[in-house]
Amino acid sequence: DQQVKQNSPSLSVQEGRISILNCDYTNSMFDYFLWYKKYPAEGPTFLISISSIKDKNEDGRFTVFLNKSAKHLSLHIVPSQPGDSAVYFCAASARGSGNTGKLIFGQGTTLQVKP
Amino acid sequence: GAGVSQSPSNKVTEKGKDVELRCDPISGHTALYWYRQSLGQGLEFLIYFQGNSAPDKSGLPSDRFSAERTGGSVSTLTIQRTQQEDSAVYLCASSPQRFYEQYFGPGTRLTVT
């Protein structure tokens, strides 16, 4: 039962253009969403998060959008840079009483930004 | 400051042997999580520690897996009688408290031959 899905295994964009990575979830109890970036042989690095009380959160070149009715979130990177080439994981958590904060991850999307 | 560290970085073991994986969380972080990433998959939750509370072991795949956290700091994940399907990257993460962003270590790549 895949509660968090990233349906695009890979994405290739040109340097300077926008990268849009998508994520869908099925569990309506999720109320906190995060994006992580992972380089080979390294652990995931936290990028940006959003609470379910918001529909947008921005941090520099990174913006996350949340559509609760569609159970969909996306990460926009503008402008994309070659150093952004990595695997991007979407993760979700339920922060209600009794929960542990464990993250449920999607399968990841490999982003390649071409110079 | 120092991040999350894990050792060893790589471990090759024969089927049936026991292995121990170590995690040193960020100092002061009370929440500690173990995940594993199998080839081509996302990260899968294994176990969670928070202070002196009972751990959440709901993600452990079998009773061959166990973990402990001593003194609220270092954690050890033990896999007994390893199987080939245990081959994966085992990642540890720590957080100031539950529900905050988690900071990951570099992982231990376990290969069971």
A49 chain-B contacts, CB cut-off 8 A: 101
> How many Å lie between the alpha carbon of A84 and the closest alpha carbon of chain B?
19
Counting residues of chain A whose pLDDT is more than 90, the rounded percentage is 89
Residues A22 and B77: their CA atoms lie apart, in Å, by 33
- What are the tens digits of pLDDT across the range A28-47? 999 999 999 999 889 999 99
Distances B7 to A48, B95, B111, B112 between C-alpha atoms, Å: 27, 19, 14, 17
Contact B45 A102 (CB under 8 A): yes
Contact B33 A102 (CB under 8 A): yes
- What are the tens digits of pLDDT across the range B3-62? 999 999 999 999 999 999 999 999 989 999 999 999 878 899 999 998 878 889 999 999
Q: For residue B98, list its beta bridge partners.
A: none
Nearest CA in chain A to B90: A43
**Partner-chain residue, chosen from A32, A107, A108, that has the shortest CB–CB distance to B99:** A32
**A62: closest CA among A100, A36, A87?**
A36
> How many Å lie between the alpha carbon of A43 and the closest alpha carbon of chain B?
4
Residues A107 and A32: their CA atoms lie apart, in Å, by 18
pLDDT at residue number B1: 60
**A34: closest CA among A97, A89, A79, A111?**
A89
Q: How many contacts (CB atoms, under 8 Å) link A and B?
A: 63
Contact A34 B101 (CB under 8 A): yes
**Chain B contact present for A53, CB below 8 A:** no
Distances B102 to B29, B31, B68, B106 between C-alpha atoms, Å: 10, 9, 19, 13
Q: Show the 3-state SS of chain A.
A: CCCEECCCCEEEEECCCCEEEEEEECCCCCCEEEEEEECCCCCCEEEEEEECCCCEEEECCEEEEEECCCCEEEEEECCCCHHHCEEEEEEEECCCCCCCCCCEECCCEEEEEEC
pLDDT at residue number A100: 79
The answer to whether the Cα torsion of A45, A73, A31, A58 is positive or negative is positive
**Partner-chain residue, chosen from A4, A32, A101, that has the shortest CB–CB distance to B31:** A101
